[in-house]
Amino acid sequence: MDFQTVLRFLHIIFFASWFGTVLASLFLLKALEEKLTGNDSNHAEYASLLQRFIKLETKVADVAVIGVILTGIMLAGFYHGWTIWVFVKSGLIILQVILTIGYIIRSVRSIAYPCSKSEYGNWYRLFSISLTMFALVLIVTFFLL
């Protein structure tokens, strides 16, 4: 097995891990929605569970994002070259990180539980941003690179 194959494999694994953390968070938030938006007396316990999960998920996602960036730089530098599409893909990944972090700071961090369903919808808007950006990156990768 050559180095390029290993790098591509790692790049795909890191990207899939990043995508998987987003989907896992989405599924957990959907499962906890009734508990965090209703009149359940255990909302503090569920909010604590969500905070712990997000903290762990963020650690995995951070490693995955850094892995995607580093393996992408190595693939471009050693094998693909710095074409316009590599810059487009890189720009989309950077834009995804900026949009996601910006939306978290602006709209998600301030949620206190229990909250209204409309306020809880900020979580779903966050995931729509993230999943749309994943789709754009995949379209560029598979159809334009």
Q: Which amino acid is at 129?
A: I
Ramachandran region, residue 57 (left: φ > 0; alpha: ψ -120 to 50; beta: rest): alpha
Cβ-in-10-Å burial (0-12, 13-18, 19+) of 71 comes to: buried
Between CA 116 and CA 126 the distance in angstroms is: 16
Nearest to 34 by CA among 110, 117, 112, 124: 117
The pLDDT tens digits of the residues spanning 61-81 come to: 999 999 999 999 999 999 989
Between CA 6 and CA 3 the distance in angstroms is: 5
Q: Please say if the pLDDT value at position 140 is more than 90.
A: no
Q: Please say if the pLDDT value at position 145 is more than 80.
A: no
Q: Say if residues 89 and 145 touch (Cβ distance below 8 Å).
A: yes
In this structure, what is the dihedral angle of CA atoms 21, 55, 136, 103, given to the nearest 10 degrees? 150
Between CA 101 and CA 19 the distance in angstroms is: 15
* Range 32-46 average pLDDT: 88
Nearest to 22 by CA among 49, 64, 55, 61: 61
The pLDDT tens digits of the residues spanning 89-131 come to: 899 999 999 999 999 999 999 999 999 999 999 999 999 999 9
